[in-house]
A and B are shown apart, each in its own frame.
Chain A
Amino acid sequence: MDGDDRVFDDRTPGVEEYEPTATYLSYTAGLGLAVLLTIMSFVVAQTNLLWSPGVPMGLIVLAFAQIGVHLVFFLHLGSGPDHTNNVVALAFGVLIVFLVITGSVWIIANLNANMMDMPVHLQH
């Protein structure tokens, strides 16, 4: 433990209690970064700056970066010991989201690959 006067409390999500002077700045920095990442996403999607088969991966990376910016600068999620509960809950949420999305896509892609072509008379 470093200082004598620092209290190790549970941190409230969405609040930056220990840096009262840095808050307007942190929101503005977050806005700047988020706008930058949004513009990058739109530019990457509409031009050929990236090798075109790599564009979806590039967009996913940019989206994760922007979500990270939102979590840190707007929701004030940090890595300190006072944030343990919030981050553990988030990690569980991310796990479920990941399982639902990749699990569905994986399974349905396999089902599609194993599906027989529909006979012509059944197609409308």
Chain B
Amino acid sequence: MTITAIERAPAALARGRGGGGPAPKRTVVAYGFWIFLLSDFVLFSGLFAAYAVLSANTAGGPTGAELFNLRNVFIETMCLLLSSYTAGLGALSAERRRQDRFLIFAALTFVLGAAFLVIEAREFARMVSEGAGPSRSAFLSSFFTLVGTHGVHVTGGLIFLLYMVAQVVAKGLRGAVLRRLLCFSLFWHALDIVWVGVFTLVYLMGAR
């Protein structure tokens, strides 16, 4: 690199290296939220580790192979994946100030996320009614803790989504609202990443 190139683009060299003034607010907000999401992954890693350690300790109770219905899990997975897709398209529409499209994609995201939760809740209710509740064995305690924590996150995400729709309707797609929307879509995509770990480790490996 020559001296002239440095003189031509001083901001370009300074940014990202701690110089050149603060980054745009949008970048700072999303980076902070990214750090939060990574800490959430660390939380889940503890629950994954507990499940991996305890999954064989069924205390004479039912095993995963007897309990899990992979057809339901596949439908749940597709619901969450499609909702991640519609959330992404909704975020794009919002970036392009297309409020009508954003609201349609937000509604689709909500319906798909709620469908995921309904299937999961019915699955939990069926297991508890069959005597396979969280108090039956260490395997089931860790199962309900891990999958339930993910379900609680999805519930929180749906509340977050409703709150964002209300803000978009009330305030329009202005800067602060767009930054919060960005955080929502990061959160929603991150939940899908955690679910990949859940269906692989818990359901697919557990059902074998």
Contact = CB atoms under 8 A, between A and B. Distances in A.
Contact of A8 (B12, B200, B207): B12
Interface string B172-192: 000000000010011001101
Contacts of A10: 15-16, 23, 27, 31
Contact of A89 (B1, B27, B35, B74): B35
B205 A38 contact: no
Contact of B42 (A8, A30, A56, A97): A97
B200 A101 contact: no
A12 B31 contact: yes
A82 B27 CA distance: 11
B104 to A, nearest CB: 14
A41 B200 CA distance: 8
B45 A101 contact: yes
A41 B201 CA distance: 11
Interface string A80-91: 011011100110
A93 B41 contact: yes
Interface in A84-116: 84-86, 89-90, 92-93, 96-97, 100-101, 103-105, 108
A14 B186 contact: yes
Contacts of A59: 200, 204-205
B37 to A, nearest CB: 8
Interface in A39-93: 41-42, 45-46, 55-56, 59-60, 62-63, 66-67, 70-71, 74-75, 81-82, 84-86, 89-90, 92-93
Interface residues of B, number: 58
A28 B85 CA distance: 8
A71 B5 CA distance: 33
A97 B197 CA distance: 12
B196 A75 contact: no
Contacts of B11: 7
Interface centre among B45, B82, B89, B197 (most CB of A within 10 A): B45
A104 B23 CA distance: 39
A104 B50 contact: yes
Interface string A10-24: 111111000000011
Given A12-B182, A63-B200, A75-B189, A105 B49 contact: yes
Nearest to B13: A8
- Which 10 pairs of residues, A with B, have the shortest CB-CB distance? A93-B38, A104-B49, A45-B204, A97-B45, A63-B200, A100-B45, A8-B12, A74-B189, A108-B53, A12-B30
Given A96-B42, A101-B45, 8 more contacts: A1-B5, A10-B16, A13-B34, A45-B207, A63-B201, A89-B38, A100-B49, A104-B52
